[in-house]
Structure 1
Amino acid sequence: MNRSPRFRTSRTLACAAALLCGAQGLSAQSTAPAAPTAGGDAPATAVLPPVQVRGHYDNDIGTSDAASEGAVTQRLIQNRPALRPGEILEFVPGMIVTQHSGNGKANQYFLRGFNLDHGTDFATFVDGMPVNMVTHAHGQGYTDLGFLIPELVRRIDYRKGPYFAREGDFASAGSARLALLDTLPRPLAEITLGQRDYRRGLFAGSTQLGESGVSLLGAVEAQTHNGPWKVPEDQRKFNGWLRATQRDGNSDRALTFMAYDARWTSTDQIPAALVENGTLDRFGSLDPSDGGRSRRISLSGSTRTTLNDGAWQASAYAVSSKLNLFSNFTYFLDDPVNGDQFEQAERRRMFGGELSRVWDVTLGGREHAFTLGLQARHDRLDPVGLYRNRARDRLATTVEAEVKQTQAGVYGEWNARWTPWLRSIAGLRADAARFDVDSSVAGNSGKASDEQLSPKLGLVFGPWQQTEFFVNAGRGFHSNDARGTTARFSPDGTESLDPVPGLAASRGTELGLRTVIVPGLQSSFAVWRLDLDSELVYIGDAGTTEPSGASRRSGVEWNNHWVLDDVGLPGWLLDLDLAASRARFRDAPSGSDRVPGSVDRVASFGIGYAPEGGRWFGHFQVRHFGPRDLVEDGSEQSSATTLAYLRGGWRPTASLTLAIDVFNLFDREASDIDYFYDSRPIQGGPAAEDRHFHPVEPRTLRVTASYRF
């Protein structure tokens, strides 16, 4: 759908550039004086304290605009073990993070009845920078958190549903904003050794620069890993961070540089039939040359100033990245001689920022907060392509393109307290997107544009008896791959295609409550529904757009976070999160309307012990996600997956901490991901439709020693 936007993207970006010029930027937060909302990235001079659990979730009464909104503090982030950096998003209640390839590739995410693939409908930000990649070589919204150092994450603010004016592209199912530490109390040296050649080293420290008030924090991380795979993963990863922050009266400023490089060999999903008949080991590979390399360099800046009547905030970022990803999911189905390996490759430069102003006013004796914000982003890919390969050598180009994609959004929000028991949050955002594609396929080059108007509304009732109630509704969207907006022919030119709209709309509603009536227990309950106009996605494996129609998801969530100090068990915590959902295509006939890959239930239970000042600490975590329909009629399903993690630790001195982590504690044979499709796994053999799966890693032991100088 090619329409002229009601406001020109180029003009909006020119205004954004002028407003952001010279600002070092911090992402904005809309806040009413009576009830500040979660989601801001304001710098704070945080430290890396001993692991504690009090206040592990900041979900108290009066802190949120929806029952499903909340925040995770650093204390819990440091206390719970994680197999991969991307699993930090599992602190979002109901989120499941898995992997279907090598650990250098973006994770697979599940939330609210979505198989989010690599992040299509969940927006993630680190230090104000969007992590989701538009028009990505592998998948729309690709969210690779390999560059993250979990020990330096200060806070996670999460939201679910399209109810918040600040959240734009990819935020239909929700969003998470990760804020970083500014300083460390003492330098930190950490080394982790684990089974299957896992080696990780981290050094981080901070210093004050004289009388300037500027603090510098630096960190270096290096990691190698082979994993349980018959073809060793040979993962090699390097991270380097340098962060400068300054506080000056009512102003905070930050500037962060990050550099990341990773390379790996991957064992992708394999046919279940070959494993069941003994032809292939559970951790075996059918193409030992699969794998990839990923590089990322970023510079982000932020500034925030508190005024007598509110605050203004700004952010700016620049990212340069490169990816070469080699995969073979069908083996010899399409090319019986060379095999079906393909390479997805891109070189990207991304620039953007955000500017906002909050006005706190009193009108008629009632408190109001008005927020006006502007966001802008420009991605330039030169090139982004799909290639036929054999053992990582290019044989032919399937499709290659140069892409320029520009998006701009303006949003406003009015947060008002009308009575002691009623608060409203009304928002509106307008987004415009412009796509410019130069494709190697004749007829697929061109320009397109689209726009979206997204109203939002929330009502908060209470509190009564330490309980408040929420009603939320809103419209959101995700952008589609730019190549799909101009494509009129398949890559081989044999099939005609209809261009897809640049922005695919969503509409959501939610009813919920939150209570802290039990001492130490923060509990919330939500019933929600989300409709998507389209689940059109660009299939990077084939170089074309695949339509899947409009869909509807609905579900319930119950989240509980209990610090047991007030019931005579100091240092203990309990977490219990339960979610159930239903996903269906709206226009498909009954019996053929299942959404493949959607998760119908998620459960997570954790119990931890970490008394303040104590020498011993530990955490036990179980996560479960239910079976997924693999085809539209539900005739093929995956099995459920249940895994347990365990951490135990000891602090023999104030400087030294020793910890042991055990992942997949009960050594379950389960799947991280399942698919159902045609493949020819044996050269010259028959083709067959089969379930393909990527196994979870077996029981894995890791030992970490941390020393603070």
Structure 2
Amino acid sequence: MPPFSLMRCGAYLIPLVNSPLAVAQTTHLPEIEVRGPRDSSIGSADSASEGAAERESFQSRPKLRPGDIVEAVPGVVATQHSGDGKANQYFLRGFNLDHGTDFAVTVDGMPVNMPTHGHGQGFADLNFLTPELVSGVRYRKGPYFADSGDFSLAGSASLDYLSALPAPIVDVSFGSHNFRRLLAAGSRTVADQTWLGAIELEGNDGPWQVPEQLRKANAVLRYSQGSSARGLSLTGMAYQSRWNSTDQVPQRLIDSGEISRFGSMNPTDGGRTRRLSLSGKWFDKGRDGETQISAYAMDYRFDLFSDFTYFLRNPVDGDQFEQTDRRRAFGAQGSRSMPNRIGGLDGLLSVGAQWRGDRIGEVGLYDTVARERLSTLRNDKVSQDLVSIYAQQFVNFSDHWRGYVGWRSDALRYDVQGRALAYGSLNSGKGHDAITSPKLGLAFTVTPQHELYLNAGGGFHSNDVRGATITIDPQSGLPAERVPALVKGRGAELGWRFQPNDDLTATVALWELGLDSELVYVGDAGSTEPGRASRRRGLEATLRWKVVSHWRLEADAALSRGRFRGEAPEGEGDHVDNAVERVFAAGVTYIGGPWTASLRLRYMGPRALDTLNTVRSRATALLNFGARYAVNEHLTLGLDVFNLAGRKGNDIEYFYASCTAGEVASGACGGGIDDRHVHPMEPRSARVSARWTF
């Protein structure tokens, strides 16, 4: 996408939002009330760690990137260790989730996570998201519910889109480091039919010495029809982006002054991506139950050039590599919930089936120099299908006791066709795997203000299926050990919810989660590989309090402990490297008259960077501020300030070996220099915006 001028694009887009497509015929329009899903409450919640974020709260928060919206889930941290066109780095419940493994995300019913992805398993890129269109963020943690499948071991977040806007808008933003953004959106409703459209353009250079030159275009077109009892929706999305990236750099070079904190080791790193999708949903709610059916189709393209070890593997040409992904993904799911009676007790039976098929035309790994390919390490064509069925029975035992039992079965079939000349045929193969997961939950209402919960269950995450057929490591040429395609996890949670009224909710959850195989980050390959079994334990607490009519207070705290299980290999310890240990977040929001303001603090404590816990990361604290002022019914002005305190923390830290060209030339490299590699969080920056409502 070529460079663009916001004002020029605005001249084209303002007529769009004033067109019959965007502007409602007021004589036909019912009053539109924009609301998100209600939070879980006493008598309806099934665990202490599930809920729904209030729309006014997460929309008022300043967001440096679209993926930051998942921080509405208590305990979640979203950072970035590369360019803004790449998926966020996520942390939750003692996990460095990489780009989404063990944290399942859906947008408007479509899964975002990508299995067998070119960069990392479970890659969840939310840069196609338009935050202003999100109506609600519903979340769950732990493998306790039958309708939650792949990648949801630590938790899941479901982001819903609006079907209608109160009025068409044009929003223009400018900020530090050449940031600029234009959003135009509107909807038209006649009778029970609504069309919604949105177009977003964004550019950004960031604080990096090598300008990011982000160029992003995003569009949404949505049709919905029906009522709250029965209806359907069709949604089309289109997104493309390209960027330069500054990856993590060695701390030793920053300390010596050889590069700055915002310097780059390879100015040709970066990427481009494209995502096109069409999805549809139909639902019917009645006294005899609820039926939901949905389906989607997606076309996806991804190219990423990275360099994490510089001249360690190839002292002559360097270690830059390209990762590619060309796929089409399809899916469908249906569910039915029916009230029933068991032994004279009222209950609710839920059953469902899900299918996802990925047809990956190319998932590749190539050695490159300045984005020019030198050699092919892997080039595979992959087909995989995951079919799932589940059932869950809820029962009200008495006025105080209720519970559920559930069962989920997942079956995976895959076909890997290697096309690399060296080892492609040796790493090809077909296979299948299956897993079953029991679920259990119990709730006890102590008083109308207090409720206790017990939840347990099994779950799983899938591995990259290329690891299930591999025989030869293409990097070294040595024999490689195959891994299971599906990896089981087991978890349990004891929770408490206190809710004396609608204005105050507090929860506490004590949890444990064990995995049969951990995914470990590999710096020189830019990917993850299966590792040892692990166990995590933790304690979480949340507070949501509407202090007075205009003020809201939120606070979240999470403590966790992650350890590998079994005998440690020689030279290794039992700490799960990069497993987050302490997270604290707090925010205050004011909504009154023409003003909306939000102040948010996020703290992430030190964590082990190696399994022996001899190297630890530094703590990070981030303070953001956002404010909006409605000048009149049409014009709203905004200001966002990120990293208000100007802290010099790091978004990510890793500990591994690397070598620079100078270290190779001086003979200091040897087998590599172990060091922490960091990607700094962005310095203090500001963005101003103006929104015109028609």
Query: What whole-Å deviation, never above 9, does each CA across 1:15-52 have from its counterpart, x for those lacking one?
Result: xxxxxxxxxxxxxxxxxxxxxxxxxxxxx997558xxx
Unaligned 5+ residue runs, structure 1? 1-43, 50-54
Q: CA RMSD in A?
A: 1.9
2:94 is matched with 113
**Where do 1:39-438 residues align within 5 Å?**
47-48=33-34, 58-208=39-189, 210-211=190-191, 213-247=192-226, 250-363=229-342, 365-438=344-417
- Superposed CA deviations along residues 321-380 of structure 1, whole A, max 9, x for unmatched, are 000000001111111111110000010100001101111124555321101100000001
Instruction: Write the distance in 1 (CA, Å) between the matches of 2:68 and 2:568.
Output: 37
Q: Which amino acid aligns with 1:105?
A: K
Question: Relative contact order (alpha carbons < 8 A, sep ≥ 6): 1 or 2 greater?
Answer: 1
Distance 2:283 2:37 in 1: 26
Secondary structure of the corresponding residue to residue 42 of structure 2:
coil
Q: Distance in 2 between matches of 1:503 and 1:105?
A: 26
- Partner-residue secondary structure (3-state), 2:661: coil
Task: Indicate the residue corresponding to 2:584 in structure 1.
Answer: 603
Instruction: Provide the C-alpha distance between the structure 2 equivalents of 1:102 and 1:530, rounded to a whole number of angstroms.
Output: 32
For these two proteins, the number of residue pairs brought into alignment is 653
User: Is 1:472 equivalent to 2:451 in the alignment?
Assistant: no
Deviations 1:513-552 (A, max 9, x none): 1011267210000000000001146969639973420000
Q: Give the Cα separation in 1 of the matches to 2:402 and 2:367.
A: 57
**Are residues 1:639 and 2:618 paired?**
yes
CA drift of 1:92 comes to 0.4
Q: What is the SS of the residue equivalent to 1:90?
A: helix
Query: Counterpart of 2:693 in structure 1: which amino acid?
Result: R
Q: Which residue of 555, 577, 584 corresponds with 1:576?
A: 555
Secondary structure of 1:516's counterpart equals: strand
After superposing the two structures, state which structure 1 stretch, 541-550 or 636-645, moved more: 541-550
Structure 2 letter corresponding to 1:580: L
Given the alignment of the two structures, is residue 510 of structure 1 paired with residue 493 of structure 2, yes or no? yes
- Matched-pair contact (CA < 8 Å) for 1:158–1:177: yes
Amino acid paired to 1:523? A
Give the Cα separation in 2 of the matches to 1:248 and 1:110: 38
Cα deviation, residue 425, structure 1? 1.3
2:471 corresponds to which residue? 488
Which whole-Å CA distance do the structure 2 matches of 1:545 and 1:662 have between them? 34
Tell me how far 1:498 sits from its aligned partner: 2.1
Match of 2:649 among 670, 673, 677: 670
Per the alignment, residue 550 of structure 1 pairs with: 533
**TM norm structure 1:** 0.90
2:517 pairs, out of 514, 521, 534, with: 534
SS at match of 1:420: coil
Letter in 1 for 2:378: V
Distance 1:544 1:101, change over 3 A: closer
Over the matched positions of the two proteins, sequence identity in percent amounts to 48
Which whole-Å deviations, capped at 9, do the CAs of 1:609-664 have from their partners, x for residues lacking one?
A: 102xx112211100001112111100011100001001122111122211111000
**What is the letter of the counterpart of residue 699 of structure 1?**
R
Moved beyond 6 Å, runs of 4+: none
Aligned residue type for 1:415: F
CA contact (8 A) 2:649 2:680 kept: yes
Change (3 A) 1:380 1:414: same
Stretches of structure 2 that go unaligned for 5 or more consecutive residues are 1-29
Structure 2: distance between partners of 1:538 and 1:446:
25
Q: Is the 8 A contact 1:271 1:681 kept in 2?
A: no
Corresponding residue of 1:698: 683
Per-residue CA shift, 1:431-481, capped at 9, x if unaligned?
A: 000110011323110011110000000000004141100000000000000
Decide whether the 8 Å contact of 2:325 with 2:362 is kept in 1.
yes
> 1-side partners of 2:65 and 2:228: how far apart?
39
- SS state of the match for residue 69, structure 2? helix
Give yes or no for contact 1:73–1:154 (8 Å, CA) kept in 2.
no
Alpha carbons 1:67, 1:470 under 8 Å: kept: yes
Q: Distance in 2 between matches of 1:46 and 1:501?
A: 50
**In 2: Cα distance, 1:299 partner to 1:340 partner:** 38
Q: Quote how far apart the aligned CAs of 1:674 are.
A: 0.2
Question: Matched residues in 2 for 1:313 and 1:339: separation?
Answer: 52
Counterpart-to-counterpart distance in 2, 1:349 and 1:266: 26
Q: What is the match of residue 17 of structure 2?
A: none
Tell me if structure 1 keeps the 8 A contact 2:85–2:242: yes
Distance in 2 between residues matched to 1:47 and 1:263, nearest whole Å: 36
- For residues 556 and 145 of structure 2, what CA distance do their matches in structure 1 show? 23
| Cα deviation, residue 77, structure 1 | 2.0
Q: TM-score, normalised by structure 2?
A: 0.92
User: Do the aligned partners of 2:309 and 2:524 also contact (CA within 8 Å) in 1?
Assistant: no
In the TM superposition, what whole-angstrom CA distance separates every residue of 1:43-72 from its partner, at most 9, and x where no partner exists?
x997558xxxxx997232123210000001
Q: Is the 8 A contact 2:340 2:347 kept in 1?
A: yes
Q: What SS class does the counterpart of residue 100 from structure 1 fall into?
A: coil
